Amino acid sequence: MSKITEVKSALLGDKYYRIDHNSGLTIYLYPKPDYNSKYAIFGTRYGSVNNAFSLDGGEVKKVPDGIAHYLEHKMFECEDGDAFLKYAKTGANANAYTSFDKTCYLFSCADNFDESLNILLDFVQRPYFTEETVAKEQGIIGQEIRMYDDSAEWRVMFNMLENMYHTHPVQLDIAGTVESIAQITPGLLYDCYYTFYNLNNMALCVAGDLTPEDILKTADKLLKPCEKHTIESFFEDEPYEIVKDYVEQAFPVSVPLFNLGFKDKAHKVSQKEMAEIEILIEVLTSPSSELYKILDDKKLINQSFDSEYFNGQGYNAVFFSGESRNPQEAAKVIRNYISEIKRKGISAEAFEIARREVYGDAVSALNSVDNIANTMMEFHFNNIDIFGIIDDISGCTLDDVNKRLLSMLDVNNSTLSVVKPQ
């Protein structure tokens, strides 16, 4: 029998339900009474980096780059018709994506939620691959690969990752290459599907004006118990050091783009650590930060300036990105500032402004059903609780964040990627 657990936030007064379904699937429901929109996302812990794996301690299988993304495309083509056409009849807006570490299928709707959830749970559990349909998809995905190769934002990021990682597949394009996808067969797709699309390796996250019973009437009908397996992914040893510290590429852009990446030691990030990192990045790069003002005063950045903490299975890094007339000078200022702030420490005022900003953003995100469900999916695969991290942000101290600063952002282990005008 499925187990339903109600989780409440003492700080916010909100609640969500965790349902440990008897099929093995973990389901989260975040009720939003009186909201018209409903959102559901069904995901598996399987992304582009999982190219070498074993099941239950068996032989290690190595599959072509891009196969997770290829599988995502093929899942919509069912034996009884295209899943997108089925969604069109319910009025739902459906989509899917593959990232470095997960694949997710989702929809949003105002009406006909039960019918749309039925479609989602049905087609993701019914793979259908033939030699003909798999071959046909190679041309479609080949075009997508070439489209991303023509994207300056895509190239500046992957050039940085190639400069940062020696062996880890996070440096490889999520969609693979035209050559690698040509090796994909129906048999390989079925192997990957039955390894990673086990309900024990997946989660369903839903937000909207719904009850657990609303979800269970469809889940109980469509989800059959799955035997739990041990899945292990394998990666070659990755050095701490970057490959090289600079790369540039000429591109048809009017203003140069840059990504400045700080490689960190690969490790699993705890909930408390994630809260500290979010505040630290806000301290460094929010529009009210000292660094932002320095860069802006020197006319080295514009409003595109951004930052991101990037972590997953075997990789951890911090990126700074944006447009700049002088990317090398912008990178120099960022590196020098980080060295200086490590020496003198973050001020109490800067910390408190950042902590309140991060806390406010986390709370306000709970007003959006898609933000809620997407965040719960991300957090599920990282063992983070959506209320717990808000509590950790609230309770974070200046000392916590200064210690976190000293443990990361090694300026001697950073690399700059630039896309410059042709």
Residue 113 within a domain: yes
Q: What is residue 218's predicted lDDT score, i.e. its pLDDT?
A: 96
The C-alpha atoms of residue 351 and residue 205 are separated, in whole angstroms, by 33
Residues in a beta bridge with 203: 26, 43
Q: In what order do the strands lie in the sheet with 15-20?
A: 3-8, 15-20, 26-31, 202-208, 38-44, 103-109, 93-98
What pTM did the predictor assign? 0.95
Strand partners, 93: 108
How many domains does the structure of the chain reveal? 2
Which of these three, 185, 211, 233, is where a domain ends?
233
pLDDT in tens, 93-122: 999 999 999 999 999 999 999 999 999 999
Residue 140 has pLDDT above 90, yes or no: no
Give yes or no: residues 128 and 101 share one domain.
yes
Residues 209 and 339 grouped into a single domain? no
Domain shared by 223 and 256, yes or no? no
Give the CB-side neighbour count of residue 47, counting CA atoms within 13 A. Answer: 21
| Residue-wise burial string across 255-267, b where 16 or more C-beta atoms lie within 10 A, e elsewhere | ebbbbbbbbbebe
| Residue 252 and residue 121 share a domain | no
**Interstrand relation of 414-421 and 246-251 (parallel, antiparallel or unpaired):** parallel
Structure tokens at 319: 């990126």
Question: 231 CB contacts (<8 Å, ≥6 apart)?
Answer: 53, 54, 55, 195, 196, 198, 201
pLDDT band at 263 (very low <50, low <70, confident <90, very high): very high
Q: 398: which 2 tokens?
A: 């200046």
Over residues 20-41, the mean pLDDT reads 97
**Confidence at 147, pLDDT banded by 50, 70, 90:** confident
Stated length of the chain:
422
How far, in Å, are 293, 356, 377, 403, 405 from residue 290 at the CA level?
5, 17, 34, 19, 16
CA neighbours within 13 Å on the CB side: how many for 5?
Answer: 8
**Across the beta sheet with 257-263, what order do the strands follow?**
246-251, 414-421, 257-263, 315-323, 306-312
Does 240 reside within a domain?
no
Residue 96 confidence (pLDDT):
97
Looking at 176, 209, 233, which one is the last position of a domain? 233
- The active-site residue, picked from 6, 72, 144, 248, is 72
72 an active-site residue? yes
Kindly state whether residues 215 and 276 are assigned to the same domain.
Answer: no
Q: Which of 254, 228, 390, 419 shows the shortest CA–CA distance to 327?
A: 419
Residues 47 and 187 in one domain: yes
Sign of CA dihedral 280, 281, 282, 286: positive
Q: What is the CATH number of the domain that holds 370?
A: 3.30.830.10
pLDDT at 395: 97
Domain hosting 335: range is: 246-421
For 30-46, what is the mean pLDDT? 97
Of 185, 204, 233, which marks where a domain is finished? 233
Helix, strand, coil content of the chain in percent (nearest 5):
45, 25, 35
226 with 356, same domain?
A: no
